[in-house]
Structure 1
Amino acid sequence: MSIDSPRFTARPGSTPLVLDSPHSGTSYPEDFGAALPLAVLRQAEDTHVEKLYDFAPQLGAAWVEAHFPRIYLDANRDTTEIDVELFDAPWPHEVTSDEVVLQKVRLGKGLIWRYTDEGQPIYDRRLSVAEGQRRIAECWAPYHQAVSNAIDAAHARHGYSIHINCHSMPSVAASHATLHPGLKHADFVIGDRDGSTSSPALSRLVCDFLGSRGYGVEYNHPYKGVELVRRYGKPQEHRHSIQIEINRRLYMDEKTLEIVQPGFDRLRKDLRDLAELLLRTDPRALQPPPAAR
């Protein structure tokens, strides 16, 4: 059953392929209360990713798309990734103690962002605990449920599932965006958390295909994949999850957010061809890549 709500869209599929876009939302809730202009807030979006993959339902792939913006709540973070300094009272739920995760939280990139990618404070106030809980209940929980349901349905139909977590990235990492400020990004970064969320052979198939189309591709560097692939990728159960990051300079003007041609159309066609390749691929039949010497 299709779901169209103010918070997200979910389209069911008939194939093993599931795609989701957690960061392309452009519907800014009235209760956001940010202190920055919309033009600044919008720089956090994975702008136009939903358009790049708009062929998904035509191919029978399940599609889940967030409408809420990433800077309001980041669905690709765990609910424990909380910046406790953002709230006006103690956070009453579990908070991560993972030091790598906490480095990102300190940059302002937890479940609810505190700073923009350029280090600007998003709020001129403390949020209430109730605000944070409401965002989780209204945005994070139903989005994750939709992704989980789509993967479960694909796996039940076919005995395996291939989940692609769809993202974009700036051409150069900003000061507060990642742990690699100033890094010039490749055309694509393919992440499977070092082979823990997908068969490495399937991930390598994705890398090789994109490389054959003339793109520069990095594998698990600098982005290995975050919560959505970590949570739902279980290759030992034939549930494969891969994060795909696309360099925005390939298809848009990063300042104006306008689509740039012919880059956009070329990229969209290549992504569709990749999806069609994955639809012809049973990961259970793939041979593992040779061990490194």
Structure 2
Amino acid sequence: MQVNYQFKPSNAVRVHPPLAAAGPVLPLVCDSPHSGVCYPADFGSCQPLAALRQGEDTHVAKLWSAVPALGGTLIEALFPRTYVDVNRELSDLDPELLDGPWPHPLSPGEKSRLGFGLIWRGLSADQPMYQRRLSVAEVDARLRNCWQPYHQALSAAVDSAYQAHGAVWHLNLHSMPGNAFARLGRNSEQPLADFVLGDRDGSTCEPALLDVIEASVRAHGYRVARNNPYKGVALIAQIGQPALRRHSLQIEIRRPIYMDEASREPNAGFAPLQQCLQATLQALAGHIRTQIGA
């Protein structure tokens, strides 16, 4: 794994466009904001790399790699979410992390309180990310070199699809730790599902999008929950406007079903899961073609 990667706006994000052999381009945009494994030299965390990797949605972009072959666009961040989390608002920054006043209004939310805001404060309550305060200049550089290019690439893909078809379907792709409820400080009588579909309680996409995804995933033997414990955060809130035919859904996959959480290596469940996701994308592509009259 690359661990000494100097970011520039031109190489912090990778865009996989629809393949020419896929046939007609579909208004389908998928993004993996947290699967990056290139750790920049200026990170300056006090945690070892093995600990930092626990924050990755490791392999998520690879799991969904069939997107371009089906006519959609796949976007992935190359930097880790622990460096800067592009699925957070710019105002969701903990001012206690900084060595000086931030020049813009801040509104840190619940994720910042837990330590998982725009810039992570720690991996857990007893694993601080830094033994120092971050300079305003270095945080600003992370936003300019990583957060802004990612949002620009995603916005360009979504807007292009929407302009071409008058509609867009967006999947925001993630994975979740096996102890997700505990990490969120929540007790649950129900075990964590294999998949969690989040539409912010019905506000970011048509119900049919969830129905198509859930039916396919359940047909492959996986357990599915909706909006519990993840409803979706900044990206689907920004993109999802179902009344305008802009549909956005967050998908979380329980990591132990496809990888070893300690080593981050794929396990025996990886290939069956990837096959399930390819079939799910094919079902979704059929639904989209019906909706746009293709």
Same fold flag (TM > 0.5): yes
The residue aligned with 1:62 is 73
How many residues end up aligned between the 2 structures? 277
Assess if the C-alpha contact under 8 Å between 1:207 and 1:219 holds in 2.
no
Amino acid at match of 1:156: Q
Q: Is 1:132–2:139 an aligned residue pair?
A: yes
Assess if the C-alpha contact under 8 Å between 2:34 and 2:57 holds in 1.
yes
Inter-CA distance 57–5: structure 2 relative to 1 (3 Å threshold) = farther
| Structure 2: gaps (5+ residues) | 1-8, 19-24
Query: Aligned partners of 1:119, 1:109: CA distance in 2, in Å?
Result: 14
The residue aligned with 1:122 is 129
The residue aligned with 2:272 is 266
The residue aligned with 1:35 is 46
Amino acid at match of 2:119: I
Alignment equivalent of 1:223, drawn from 222, 225, 230? 230
Inter-CA distance 210–133: structure 2 relative to 1 (3 Å threshold) = same
Assess if the C-alpha contact under 8 Å between 1:199 and 1:283 holds in 2.
no
Query: Aligned partners of 1:25, 1:165: CA distance in 2, in Å?
Result: 14
Assess if the C-alpha contact under 8 Å between 1:251 and 1:264 holds in 2.
yes
Q: 1:102 Cα deviation (Å)?
A: 2.3
Q: 1:5 Cα deviation (Å)?
A: 4.1
Inter-CA distance 179–236: structure 2 relative to 1 (3 Å threshold) = farther
Amino acid at match of 2:261: E
Q: 1:140 Cα deviation (Å)?
A: 0.7
Q: Is 1:180–2:186 an aligned residue pair?
A: yes
Matches within 5 A, 1:183-262: 184-261=191-268
| Structure 1: gaps (5+ residues) | 287-293
* TM-score normalised per structure 2: 0.89
Query: Aligned partners of 2:126, 2:63: CA distance in 1, in Å?
Result: 29
Inter-CA distance 110–284: structure 2 relative to 1 (3 Å threshold) = farther
Inter-CA distance 70–181: structure 2 relative to 1 (3 Å threshold) = farther
Q: Give SS of 2:61's match.
A: helix
Structure 1 window deviating more from structure 2 (215-224 vs 152-161): it is 152-161
Q: Is 1:103–2:114 an aligned residue pair?
A: no
* TM-score normalised per structure 1: 0.89
Amino acid at match of 2:186: H
Amino acid at match of 2:193: A
Assess if the C-alpha contact under 8 Å between 1:19 and 1:165 holds in 2.
yes
The residue aligned with 1:6 is 11
The residue aligned with 1:72 is 83
Q: Deviations over 1:157-209 (max 9, x none)?
A: 2221110001000111275x424378842100000101111012221222222
Inter-CA distance 20–259: structure 2 relative to 1 (3 Å threshold) = same
Please give the root-mean-square deviation of Cα atoms over the aligned residues, in Å: 2.0
Q: Is 1:143–2:154 an aligned residue pair?
A: no
Amino acid at match of 1:6: N
Assess if the C-alpha contact under 8 Å between 2:212 and 2:283 holds in 1.
no
Q: Give SS of 1:76's match.
A: coil
Assess if the C-alpha contact under 8 Å between 2:216 and 2:279 holds in 1.
no
Q: Deviations over 1:85-126 (max 9, x none)?
A: 000011111211xxxx62221111110000104641000000
Assess if the C-alpha contact under 8 Å between 2:26 and 2:288 holds in 1.
no
